[in-house]
Structure 1
Amino acid sequence: MHITLIISSLSPGGAEKVMAAMANYWAGNNQDITLITFDSRNSDSYIFNDRIKRHALELLTDSKNILESLANNYKRIKRLRSILVDSKPDIIISFIDKTNILAILSNIGLKYPLIICERVNPRKYRIGRFWRLLQKMLYPLSDALVVQTEATKLWFKQKLKFPEEKTYVIPNPVIISSQNSKNIIKEKLNIISMGRLVRQKGFDILLDSFSKIAEKYPDWTLTIIGKGEEENNLKSQAKYLGIEKQVIFTGFIKNPFEYLQNADLFVMPSRFEGFPNALIEAMSYGLAAISFNCPSGPSDIIRNGTDGILVNCEDTDGLTAAMDDLMSNKEKRGQFSKRAREVSERFKLEKIIGMWNNLLEEVIRRKK
């Protein structure tokens, strides 16, 4: 089967990591894979199987005005359509809203089977009125829509009137690196959190919550992995709260294996999510987890009271109480840790790819 995958960029990110894993898995199982990005290869953060045909269009540029935006998107559609005509895929998979729209427009008249995939929570993520209108008009031209949770499926049915029978729920897989653990002598216990340093991820709330109990736990540190536009603000906040000596900002780390392996607790303070890779990755390493019960994803991953704790979204005091509970109770952390590892089987890569394979076969069969 010849599968063409389309995504804006392969820079660090959850959707990008999942697409890279899917591409490599299929290529490693003798599928013909074409992988297209609008960005250049310089932004690639993942290593790919040599069998994958890679097209980097180098057309991911900012537009200064509407006319320039229209011109840039026309160039993207034209180039993308040309590749589709030449490569003649059996099926196309596109990731993320605006890229989905451009993929649909590129495929008009070609009629290749096309699956579009949403990777964020549309209730919280704003793409603008024009793009939302295009979503409503063009998404029905696709052959299937993949979302990550039942809540997101319901949103597309109610808000965009997307046909329920063409909507499929496929969660993210657990993607972990196989490395040997290192025996690191730990001087302190450690809470870890990771993600892009943007408002959505809620690290400002985490710092506020941690500051309320940091003095009570001088032998604990908080490590935040990631980079983003809020980095300087967050560092200033930590200093203002008087906890800068207990908070570590690592910046972006391509493979956070060692940090996860040697942490004692994982906290995800996001205001909203799609289906958080960071959470399932942390739990796969046996970390007891605390997360806001934000829309959407955490409640599909954490079994509250079994392998972690769900806290009402943006409840600073509730997050503080949950951290205090697990930081003070090693036995409880250990119980959650044992059950957390089960996430590796629940969201096993082979299991998730099997769901995708079934969908590909169904869409191709239905298209004939």
Structure 2
Amino acid sequence: MKILIVQYQGFLNSQGGTEKMATFFANTFSQKGHDVAIVTQDPVEGKSVFPLDPEVRLINLYKGKDDCIVLRKIYNYKGKNPLSWIRYKIQKKIDKAHNKRLMAAQGVRTMDELQIHNLKVRSKNWPSFFAAEKPDIIISMAISTLLEITYQGPLAYPIINTVHGRPDYDYSDILWYRSPQDMDLLKKSYSYLTGIQVLFESYEAYLPDTFTGICKVIPNPIPQYEDGQLAKLDQDKDRYQLIHVGSLINAGKQQELAMECFAALKDKYPNWDLIFIGEGPDELYLKERSAALGLENRVFFKGYTAKPEEELRKADVFIFPSKYEGFGLALGEAMSIGLPSIGLASCSGVNELIQHQKTGFLAHDKNEFVNYLDQLMADKDLRIQMGREAHQYVQAFDKTMVAHKWEEYIHEIHKMHNLQN
């Protein structure tokens, strides 16, 4: 089969979870003998950060300036440093004025008008491309991708959309503001789908009523490690580590909560440190908060690493206080490497992977989070037991099993499409 994996932008030069999964799909299908391409419309030059099978084509439809209006991101500084506050305040005014000029130049007055303008521009390239390729299956890597490729109208090819979070996060305003126009457009795009993949059975309940295709539960693959590759939780150490892996975006990942909980226990456990692996726009703010909490020389920001498993092996507890997740790839890898974990009971994805009091703890509030963290930091035997359980639990998410489910699914979708047409 000819399979097109589409991520409308953000694939090139990016090391995020969506890009990792797009690469996994491409390599898996290519190795099974399919003709596979990853297709994007990225307004940059670059390559895949994750290794691609030699037979996989990487196609960028972007051909230079396309009349899209690309606004500068507005950053709201949340720290208390007066000099930083002034600097970010000035930059915010400059960026807002710049954005206003860009919109005025194209006669665009509102964000809804901006959305339609950009969709009209960016959606033009897709119909002729698909007609030339004649794919057997299109796999959309996000609902925003689906919206763009179907904006000119329904396609003659079966489309599967992959969902990386709880489905209602993609089309509602439950997490952040979306205009009624945006939500209506997104919900309508589901009607063009032949199939949709969700990560957990519980997520099926959150699909919109505009979707009438075949839903399949297929989890993300989690890297598997042999016993000799696991974290050495039984070793006595001069210093022990709590570790967090994720983008430094405090609104979603809530690294500030991790620091506050650690600060409540720092004097009781003077030989423990908190390690952050990752980059993001809130790095400065989090560093300032770390200093304000008296955590100098106890909290370390190590930035991005291509081999997070090496950092995870040095750690003793994985701390993951996200507000929301889809699956939690970093959490899954930490569990596979044998770390006990602590997260929030209200967090989607996290509350599916962590088995409370078996592979880690799920806290209902900050006080519980501190209490459970205290238990893990105090008891090496508990860490070893939970880490062992975590390692065994995620063996069910082996990539071979996931690849087999996906192979079955694309054949099911292809067969159904042919019967209907």
- What TM-score comes out, normalization by structure 1 length? 0.90
Alignment match of 1:34 (pick from 32, 37, 41): 37
1:334 aligns with 2:384: yes
Matching residue's letter, 1:248: F
Match of 2:221 in 1: 173
Letter of the 1:339 counterpart = E
Q: Which residue of 2 aligns with 1:16?
A: 19
Structure 2 CA distance, aligned partners of 1:305 and 1:97? 35
2 CA distance for matches of 1:140 and 1:182?
45
Check conservation: 2:338, 2:387, Cα contact below 8 A.
yes
Q: Residue 341 of structure 1 aligns to a residue in which SS?
A: helix
Instruction: Please tell me whether the aligned partners of residues 270 and 294 of structure 1 are also in contact (alpha carbons under 8 angstroms).
Output: no
1:357 to 387, 407, 411: 407
| CA shift digits 1:322-356 (9 cap, x unpaired) | 11101100001101111111244211111112221
Deviation for aligned residue 1:69: 4.2
State the secondary structure of the residue aligned to 1:245.
Answer: coil
Which of these two proteins has the greater Rg computed from alpha carbons? 2
Structure 2-normalised TM-score? 0.79
Query: Does 1:223 pair with 2:224?
Result: no
C-alpha distance in 1 between matches for 2:410 and 2:54: 23
Task: Spell out the pairing of 1:1-368 with structure 2 (5 A cutoff).
Answer: 1-7=1-7, 8-10=9-11, 11-39=14-42, 40-42=44-46, 44-58=48-62, 62-63=70-71, 64=99, 65=103, 66=111, 69-105=115-151, 108=153, 110-121=155-166, 122-123=168-169, 124-126=174-176, 128-129=178-179, 130-156=181-207, 160-163=208-211, 166-175=214-223, 187-198=238-249, 199-312=251-364, 315-368=365-418
Q: Which moved more, 1:231-240 or 1:285-294?
A: 285-294
CA RMSD of aligned residues (A): 2.5
SS of match in other structure, 1:304: coil
**Contact 1:12-1:45 within 8 A present in 2 as well:** yes
Which one-letter code corresponds to 2:4 in the other structure? T
Structure 1 position 222, deviation (Å):
0.6
**Alpha-carbon separation, structure 1, partners of 2:312 and 2:285:** 25
The change in CA–CA distance for 1:71 and 1:163 in structure 2 (over 3 A counts) is: closer
Letter in 2 for 1:15: T
Deviation at 1:132, TM superposition (A): 1.3
CA contact (8 A) 1:98 1:131 kept: no
Q: Quick one: which amino acid aligns to residue 320 of structure 1?
A: V
SS at match of 1:222: strand
Check 1:326–1:177 CA distance in 2 against 1; reply closer, same or farther (3 A cut).
closer
Instruction: Label 1:136 to 1:256 Cα distance change in 2 as closer, same or farther (>3 A).
Output: same
C-alpha contact 1:152 1:296 (8 A) present in aligned 2: no
Runs of 4+ in 1 over 6 A off after TM superposition: 182-185
Matched to 1:57, the amino acid is L
CA distance in 2, matches of 1:206, 1:133: 36
Q: Is the 8 A contact 2:261 2:370 kept in 1?
A: yes
Q: Secondary structure at the match of 1:33?
A: strand
* Shift in CA distance, 279/72, structure 1 to aligned 2, threshold 3 Å: same
Cα contact 1:9–1:44 (8 A) shared by 2: no
- Cα drift, residue 187 of structure 1: 4.0
Greater shift after overlay, 243-252 or 336-345? 336-345
1:224-248 deviations in Å (ceiling 9; x for gaps): 1111111111100000000121101
- Provide closer, same or farther for how the CA distance between residues 167 and 235 of structure 1 changes in structure 2, counting only shifts above 3 A: same
Residue aligned with 1:346, SS: helix
1:343–1:3 CA distance, 2 compared to 1 (3 A): farther
Match of 2:90 in 1: none
Q: Is the 8 A contact 1:104 1:139 kept in 2?
A: no
| Structure 2 Cα separation of the partners of residues 349 and 338 of structure 1 | 20
- How many residue pairs match? The answer is 361
Distance 1:5 1:278, change over 3 A: same
- The 2-side partners of 1:182 and 1:145 are apart by 35
- Could you say what secondary structure the match of 1:191 adopts? strand
Amino acid at match of 1:318: E
Matched to 2:60, the amino acid is A
Moved more, 216-225 or 18-27: 18-27
Cα offsets for 1:52-82 (capped at 9, x unmatched) = 1111234797245455543433332222333
- State whether residues 174 and 281 of structure 1, in contact with CA within 8 Å, keep that contact through their aligned partners in structure 2: yes
Instruction: Tell whether the 8 Å contact from 1:235 to 1:244 is kept in structure 2 after alignment.
Output: no
How far apart are 1:83 and its partner, in Å?
2.3
Alpha-carbon distance in 1 for matches of 2:157, 2:39: 16
Give, in angstroms, the shift of residue 183 of structure 1.
11
Residue 306 of structure 1 and its aligned partner are, at CA, apart by 1.5
Structure 1: runs of 5+ lacking an equivalent: none
Structure 2: distance between partners of 1:61 and 1:359: 38
Distance 1:362 1:182 in 2: 38
Evaluate the alpha carbon distance shift between residue 41 and residue 153 of structure 1 in structure 2; reply closer, same or farther with a 3 A threshold: farther
Aligned equivalents of 1:191, 1:103: Cα separation in 2:
43
| Gap change, CA 1:164 and 1:311, over 3 Å in 2 | farther
Amino acid at match of 1:155: Y
